[in-house]
Structure 1
């Protein structure tokens, strides 16, 4: 049987940081990544912050530090080279990834161990 789920778009991405790094994470995603912070529903009683860009939300919650893994979120950008320069100017180490035809991409880790990928589609 084929999967009955019909996907439309990414709604949100949830990442976690140790509680003592929550405000540092808020500043990183607001200032370095340039995301707009949005109101977080009052139904949530644990600490966290929400952000929005385009029609996607980023939710930052708290949990103990996790080991580094291949888990990541990929964000399509309009100028991957400029994004990489910006991150490196802000002392974020970036990593080349295996080439995928039509995609220029790289990865990096935020200060909390979350692996992120930025990519741009090019022919």
Structure 2
């Protein structure tokens, strides 16, 4: 049945589009994708990187995802950590899994994001 993953959606508070752009574009390297005209009035913002589509939608009242999270593969976790540190972004190590080293960061709204390297 399932052929692939189309997109991931995270929630954000009303009016957070500029903070989302600053983080997802400037820190994580996504590019913004224009939302369809029919959805633009809802707020939020869409991004893409490699084969990943990420949608941030406005949720009221907003609650950050502290456990549920997307996990994005990176080429080098060491280089990613250096980049995050240079940008003032804190990270948390987690237990490595077979063939996976990983950290967690939070987006500007407190949503948990996993960054992982396949080893």
Q: Measure, in 1, the Cα distance between the counterparts of 2:63 and 2:89.
A: 19
How big is the shift at 1:90? Answer: 1.1
TM-score calculated relative to the size of structure 1 = 0.86
Q: Which of these two proteins has the greater Rg computed from alpha carbons?
A: 1
TM-score calculated relative to the size of structure 2 = 0.89
How big is the shift at 1:68? Answer: 5.3
Q: Specify the alignment match of 1:99 in structure 2.
A: 96
Matches within 5 A, 1:106-121: 106-121=103-118
Q: Specify the alignment match of 2:33 in structure 1.
A: 38
Provide structure 1 residue ranges, at least 5 long, that are not aligned to the other structure: none
CA contact (8 A) 2:16 2:44 kept: no
Query: Alignment RMSD, CA only?
Result: 1.5
Q: Measure, in 2, the Cα distance between the counterparts of 1:77 and 1:8.
A: 23
Q: Measure, in 2, the Cα distance between the counterparts of 1:114 and 1:39.
A: 22
How big is the shift at 1:22? Answer: 2.2
How big is the shift at 1:37? Answer: 0.9
CA contact (8 A) 2:66 2:112 kept: yes
Q: Specify the alignment match of 1:76 in structure 2.
A: 73
* Per-residue CA distance 1:25-45 (angstroms, 9 max, x = gap): 122111111111111101113
2:10 paired with 1:15: yes
What is the number of equivalent residue pairs in this alignment? 117
How big is the shift at 1:9? Answer: 2.6
Provide structure 2 residue ranges, at least 5 long, that are not aligned to the other structure: none
2:74 paired with 1:58: no
